[in-house]
Amino acid sequence: MSDSWKTTLPCTRAEAEAIDAGAIEIDAVLMTTEMVEDDVEQWRLDAYTDDEPDAAMIAAIRALAPSAAAIEPTVEKLTDADWVAMSQAGLEPIREGRFIVHTQAHPVEPGPGERAFLIDAGQAFGTGHHGTTSGCLAMLDRLADQRFDNIIDLGTGTGLLAFAARHLWPEARVTATDIDPVAIEVTRENAALNGVERVDLIVADGARAPAISEAAPCDLIIANILAGPLIAMAPEIAAIAAPHATIVLAGLLANQADKVIAAYRAAGCTLEQSETRGDWTILRLTAAEVPVTHLNSDDTGRENWARDI
């Protein structure tokens, strides 16, 4: 095992949640930890890297925790340590309805009717331990009695929500997309680890890619992203929705929910349920009876490809 490095800075809860929910372009595994229970100011950011962090890496890590601008980061060499395993050490298994999500460091034996997924911390968001992802799992579990035939998970991250959908609706077509090719490869690897089959994978920015348009209309759309992209994508998501489709949205802070809801109402959608977990909100909406005209799939500004697992 080669040496690895840990860089540590204090941060606030708001900064930690932004790190956990965001698409962070940094060559490090990031872990945030609550240092004092219910104290929003006392959190910690640990960044694990293969090599000793240079000035550019330190600056990138600092940028994630502006509240620690006056504090020197602690840089520690981890001799003969597996930094991925260390980043998972605090990730206890979670349970949401029939689903259990765990890491290799915390194996579980599912009980009758339960479905366990092994999702290790790594280069893509969506281990199930963040309130947005676990909230989506709970929302999907409650929809289990409904029938869906064509499901898409936009911004799939680790693939977890697409895997849950495949389990709940085994006869449906399931598509998972992400803007990041690394996330799609992570999803492919996680599918193999968990014995998940028949999920179409697409690298795409938003929902305009030809492969997505060709798969539409979808009767269940899941998008666990961030408030800004969710608002911008409202017309795109409405365009790929079947009449009365169910839309599950997450990745938005509670104080951003009204703006997201307004954007989807403008696209013809109706709010059915809103659930708050900590500072985060998960929304369930119904698409319009008359679908929005599909967007032109000849958008050359959005690169995409699709393969099947």
Give the tens place of pLDDT for each residue, 116-170.
Answer: 999 876 544 444 445 688 899 999 999 999 999 999 999 998 899 999 999 999 9
Does 157 share its domain with 283? Answer: yes
Residue 119 located in a structural domain: no
224 is in an annotated binding site: yes
CATH code, 273: 3.40.50.150
- What range does the domain containing 202 cover? 130-308
In a domain, 113, yes or no: no
Contacts of 83 by beta carbon, 8 Å cutoff, 6+ apart: 4, 5, 6, 29, 48, 49, 50
Residue 51 is labelled as binding a ligand: no
d(CA 40, CA 32): 12
The answer to the question of whether 120 is labelled as a binding residue is no
The 10s digit of each residue's pLDDT in 178-228 is 988 988 998 999 999 999 999 999 999 889 889 999 889 999 999 998 888
Are 26 and 60 a contacting pair, CB within 8 Å? yes
Which range among 3-7, 71-75, 137-141 shows the weakest confidence by mean pLDDT?
3-7
25 against 233, higher pLDDT: 233
Residue 101 belongs to some domain of the structure: no
User: How many domains does the chain fold into?
Assistant: 2
**Per residue in 260-304, pLDDT tens?**
999 999 999 999 999 998 778 999 999 998 755 444 433 433 333
Q: What is the reported pTM?
A: 0.71
- Together in a domain, 78 and 135: no
Half-sphere exposure of 44 (CA within 13 A, CB side): 12
In a domain? residue 240 = yes
Are 162 and 61 members of one domain? no
Q: Are residues 198 and 278 in the same domain?
A: yes
- What CATH number has the domain bearing residue 52? 3.30.70
Asked if 69 and 190 sit in the same domain, the reply is: no
The reply to whether 246 and 147 lie within a common domain is yes
Handedness of CA 196, 202, 208, 213 (dihedral sign): negative
My answer on whether 174 and 25 are in the same domain is: no
177 shares a domain with 73: no
Out of 19-28, 35-44, 145-154, 158-167, pick the least confident: 19-28
| Domain membership flag for residue 51 | yes
Residues 153, 254 share a domain? yes
Same domain flag for 167 and 299: yes
| Among 61-65, 87-91, 207-211, the range of highest mean pLDDT | 61-65
Residues 72 and 163 in one domain: no
Q: Residue 10's closest CA among 51, 59, 54, 70?
A: 70
Tell me: do 49 and 181 sit in the same domain.
Answer: no
Q: Tell me whether residue 122 is in a domain.
A: no
Consult the annotation and say whether 82 binds a ligand: no
Q: Which residues of 156-181 are buried (b: 16+ CB within 10 A; e: fewer)?
A: bbbbbbbbbbbbbbeebbbbbbbbbe
pLDDT at 244 over 80: yes
| Angle separating helix axes 160-168 and 131-142, nearest 10 degrees | 10
